[in-house]
Amino acid sequence: EPEVTQTPSHQVTQMGQEVILRCVPISNHLYFYWYRQILGQKVEFLVSFYNNEISEKSEIFDDQFSVERPDGSNFTLKIRSTKLEDSAMYFCASIETVHGYTFGSGTRLTVV
């Protein structure tokens, strides 16, 4: 069964450092997403990406965040200057239709 691959599975970074979280969506999917889940809290939408541009973003997705699809297969989330409160699980997802979400297994980001 096709899957969404995320790397790394766990990243520890110092506050103020830049991090890039990587995702390989399912190849024939057209819509890509990043979500995050702070420990003990609900899953929150960050951004959706379609046709090589952001289609929607949440209030969380401020100027510190950016997304890119640099080579037609990878889909990355960059956080420019990490803060302690960025510590969370970050899930990438891709879909053909809204009834067919496939989430990656996530990257646990720990900011120290």
Partner 1 sequence: RKEVEQDPGPFNVPEGATVAFNCTYSNSASQSFFWYRQDCRKEPKLLMSVYSSGNEDGRFTAQLNRASQYISLLIRDSKLSDSATYLCVVNPVRAGGTSYGKLTFGQGTILTVHP
Minimum CB–partner distance for residue 70 and partner 1 (Å): 21
User: What's the Cα-to-Cα distance from 40 to each of 19, 36, 43, 79, 87, rounded to whole Å?
Assistant: 23, 12, 10, 22, 12
Closest CA to 112 of 92, 91, 82: 82
Nearer to partner 1, 30 or 81 (CB): 30
Q: Does 34 bind partner 1 (CB under 8 A)?
A: no
| 39-78 footprint of partner 1 as x/- string (CB under 8 A) | --xxxxx--x-x----xx----------------------
**Contact assessment for residue 78 and residue 20, using Cβ atoms and an 8 Å cutoff:** yes
Among residues 19, 21, 35, 65, the one that binds partner 1 under rule CB under 8 A = 35
Alpha-carbon distance 17 to 73, whole Å? Answer: 25
The neighbouring-strand residues paired with 91 are 35
Residues that bind partner 1 (CB under 8 A): 31, 33, 35, 41-45, 48, 50, 55-56, 89, 91, 95, 97-99, 101, 103-106, 108
